[in-house]
Chains A and B, each alone.
Chain A
Amino acid sequence: MISFIFKRLLQSVVVMLTVALIAFSMFRFIGDPINNMVGQDTSQADRAALTEQLGLNDPFIVQFGRFALNAAEGNFGISYKYRQPVSSLILERLSATLELSFVAAVLTLVVGIPLGVYTALKGKGLISKGIMTLSLIGVSLPTFLIGILLILLFGVVLRWLPTFGRGDVIAIGWWTTGFLTVSGIKSLILPSITLALFQMTLIMRLVRAEMLEVLRTDFIKFARARGLPDRSVHFKHALKNTLVPVITITGLQLGALIAFAIITESVFQWPGMGLLFIQAISDVDIPIMAAYLVLIAFFFVVINMVVDILYYMVDPRLRADSTA
């Protein structure tokens, strides 16, 4: 187990260094950083001095090393546009994105898994046929369209829910939360549904397919032949075996929720990292772009590692002592 985690950690470090290299190369290949920092009338001598001061004359590997070390400490430099440290900009917005993704993830699992189980068990019923048809819409409609339709219905026509922003937030240290105010919770509803809808249908269809597969296996047949009641066959034996492969996909999708919150955040003007990133692209604000890239990669790596450890715990066949 320990050597397994150690191996995974080592791999994670390699992945992070690779991503950092890509992020770092943006500085060198997308525009000249000096040009982005100084005005038109700065003299050539001042530019040269600044270049030297920023260490841009150092060899590539030294610069990359400096970047990677700073990044590891959470220091991604100064935003070109906001003239503030990138880390504090991101930190301000991190809580917004994480809260949105968290609610969307909970929605995905709480709705997706039971629906998947239901449609697998009651495949012939009218309700599950209806759910399957709806899920097809969920998979095929693009996120921004769902968002706009929801805004139109609940925001414009019915006027029940706010259509942009986070509402009132309460700060707890550097973390700001919308969970503690009514307007904050109301504001969360539409964006989180928008973000979750695609993942929800995906998880639902995955659980359904896996469950149908498991229900056909011999051990389920043998469990029935021993007279075990449906409840135990379905939820004790079938569901647990269904969830083993589902865990992997769920982990990846969780990363995707954080990363692809960009579109939802733009539609709802949600003050999260995604929105910051979109603005950074139009402003060619490379430090923010690089930081975002590294941060998202970091989330993916951490989630994947948690998934691997979970997998290890759920499936006894993978445990180290399995050769006994």
Chain B
Amino acid sequence: MDLLNINNLRIEFPSRHGTVVAVDDVSLSVQPGEVLGVVGESGAGKSTIGNAVIGLLEPPGEMTAGHVLLKSEQIDTLSAEAKRKIRGRRIGMIFQDPLTSLDPLQTIEQQLVETIDLHLKLGEKKSQERAVDLLRQVGIPEPETRIKNYPHQFSGGMRQRVVIALALCAEPEVIIADEPTTALDVSIQAQILELMRRLCKDKQVGMIIITHDMGVIADITDRVAVMYRGKVVEEGTTAKILGNPDHPYTQSLISAVPRPDIRLKRFPMVNYIEEEGERTKDIDLSTHWLGRHRDYDAVDGPLLSLKNLVMTFVTKPALLKSNRITFNAVDDVSFDINEGEVFGLVGESGSGKSTVARMVCSLYKPASGIVNFAGTDLTSIKSENERDFYRRQMQMIFQDPFSSLNGRMRVMDIIAEPIRFHKLASSNQEVEQVVNDLLDHVGLGAQASVRFPHEFSGGQRQRISIARALATRPRFLICDEPTSALDVSIQAQILNLLKDLQEELGLTMLFISHDLPVIRQMCDRVGVMKQGKLVEVSATEDLFENPTAAYTRELLDLMPRLDKLSHEGLEVEEA
């Protein structure tokens, strides 16, 4: 007997512009002890299914067809009160962001005891004992004392454990986990997934994991359903879907996943979610504005050289310098980047990689150390003119495509601003021509220039950011997690674009990412950072094949195993 059945589910969101069908004729089932993965890109309707099962669809969404059966008993037609009694008791739910999933004003004990007592009616004392026991099960050290703490006193990974403990309070038969590890570092992700798999097998719980991450799917699921625009396009065992997918969408989705084990020349394109931008005309870089004045003075040695860089933040301010508590976000970091090279910087959150980037482009002033760019120490520049001269050569692309563009400016002005500021074009007409060509070059088309940023998707906005970065004709690009907010197919497009531009323009890049497979695809050399220190620098292939530092080996081991993934249609780059 199936534990949970979802039959022919259809969910509609009526709106002024007609009805949006978020979920269309979806049927899924879960057995006890089984982990079912639901994978798809943003907007595919995967989270909506989870919300519908527990009866918490956001209005105005409504189920217009289909039914949900829990142990053959239909639950979608129950009264609101009866549905509430099922939530938490028989179906548990885990959400994406552990930092916001807990009530900040209550201790975790209050939250656990309330939930346990509600469902199991154990009374105060027994509930407390069970709460401590649950925390021990999910691997929180010293549960007796930690239980008195408030959520903000736990780290992200620990909080997700508390969230899991809360979902387990009444031993539910089914757990629905919506992107349970997306907000966590790889090492924490591996621990949490291991914990969830163990709980699932031990307690014979049926689990549905909703995710966009093929690594999570490969790591933990038994079966997978692939969703595309509200429909399940393919379903099967994990090995089958990953190794030998039938549907063209699944095939292209899997081919777009960055591999840790091989380096591709280019990603094969997924044209399902968003059309890959196409250039309508090729510009001749030898005569075009973008190619002009690229004859920067040749440098002896590396283009960028960091020596003993230190950045200190004050964590507890005090009047007296001796009473202040400080923290070295970057601690004695030195490395070189040669002209035309892509240098990767990898590490977990808080390792100081973004801080390094900000010091390189002088957004932060280092506490000590030297940033040497093209033979000049940027930290000792006094005149604003000279600073602008170097700023023009160095541009940055940020992680979040939503907050890094000014929403009140048209795309034309966003990209034209650096050209105008640095007086790189002779007339307004030329500026407009250059902006249109740049937009075309990054695959957006010149008609994008009159629109506002909010009219574009995340991937398209990242293209705008790239066009803006190119608008100063830089020789050095800093990319700080440029694709971590994007879906895999869009990520593949953006990485291809960056590779193309790097080749065409001979750009030098500092590429920052927490994602080792992406680093392998993009970089020539890699530096690994841990708690502000650089633990290893080596050529990319060496790093992946023969890591020297223990920490690097640890990171590599934690990478999700993607060796089951199909290799069909991939063009591997020879070392």
| Interface residue ranges, A against B (CB under 8 Å) | 217-219, 221-229, 232, 236-237, 240-241, 244, 314-317, 322, 324
Contact = CB atoms under 8 A, between A and B. Distances in A.
B103 A219 contact: yes
A314 B97 CA distance: 24
Nearest to A225: B93
Given A225-B56, A236-B106, A316-B107, 17 more contacts: A217-B100, A218-B97, A218-B100, A218-B101, A219-B103, A222-B102, A222-B166, A224-B84, A226-B87, A226-B88, A226-B92, A227-B84, A227-B87, A227-B88, A236-B114, A315-B105, A316-B152
Contacts of B167: 226
Contact of B56 (A224, A240, A315): A224
Contacts of A217: 100
Given A219-B104, A225-B54, A228-B115, A317 B152 contact: yes
A255 to B, nearest CB: 26
Interface in B133-188: 149-150, 152-153, 163, 166-167, 169
Contacts of A227: 84-89, 115, 118-119
B95 interface: yes
Contact of B103 (A223, A225, A314): A223
A101 B87 CA distance: 47
Contacts of A316: 104-105, 107, 150, 152
Given A227-B88, A229-B84, A237 B119 contact: no
Given A237-B106, A322-B152, A228 B56 contact: no
Nearest to A232: B114
A222 B101 contact: yes
B105 A244 contact: yes
Contacts of A224: 56, 84, 87
A122 to B, nearest CB: 14
Nearest to B84: A227
B56 A221 contact: yes
Contacts of A219: 100-104
B173 to A, nearest CB: 13
Contacts of A221: 56, 95
A317 B107 CA distance: 11
Contact of A225 (B85, B88, B105, B107): B88
Nearest to A230: B84
A314 B56 CA distance: 30
A314 B85 CA distance: 31
Contacts, number: 80
Contacts of A241: 103-105
Number of contact residues on B: which range applies?
A: 20 to 34
B100 A322 contact: no
Contacts of B56: 221, 224-225
B88 A237 contact: no
17 contacts: A218-B97, A218-B101, A221-B95, A222-B101, A222-B163, A226-B88, A226-B166, A227-B85, A228-B88, A228-B114, A240-B105, A241-B104, A315-B104, A316-B104, A316-B105, A322-B152, A324-B153
Nearest to B99: A218
A62 to B, nearest CB: 31
Nearest to A317: B152
A221 B103 CA distance: 11
A223 B150 CA distance: 16
Contacts of A315: 104-105
A316 B103 CA distance: 11
A102 to B, nearest CB: 28
Nearest to A319: B150
B153 A322 contact: yes
A232 B92 CA distance: 18
A248 to B, nearest CB: 15
Nearest to A315: B105
Contacts of B152: 316-317, 322
Interface string B67-105: 000000000000000001111110011010100111111
A226 B103 CA distance: 13
B150 A317 contact: yes
A229 B88 CA distance: 11
A240 B323 CA distance: 36
A318 B150 CA distance: 11
A244 B166 CA distance: 25
Contacts of A226: 87-88, 92-93, 115, 166-167, 169
A240 B92 CA distance: 25
Contacts of A314: 105
Interface in B195-234: none
A223 B85 CA distance: 13
Contacts of B102: 219, 222
A240 B114 CA distance: 16
Q: Which of B88, B89, B97, B166 counts the most A-chain CB atoms under 10 A from its CB?
A: B88
Contacts of B119: 227
B75 to A, nearest CB: 13
A322 B316 CA distance: 13
A315 B100 CA distance: 15
B151 to A, nearest CB: 9
Interface in B322-347: none
B179 to A, nearest CB: 12
Contacts of A223: 103
Nearest to A227: B88
A36 B142 CA distance: 75
A26 B563 CA distance: 83
A59 B114 CA distance: 67
A237 B101 CA distance: 12
A87 B434 CA distance: 76
Contacts of B118: 227-229, 232
Nearest to A220: B103
A237 B103 contact: yes
A225 B89 CA distance: 10
A21 to B, nearest CB: 25
Interface in B52-69: 54, 56
Contacts of B106: 236-237, 240
A317 B97 CA distance: 18
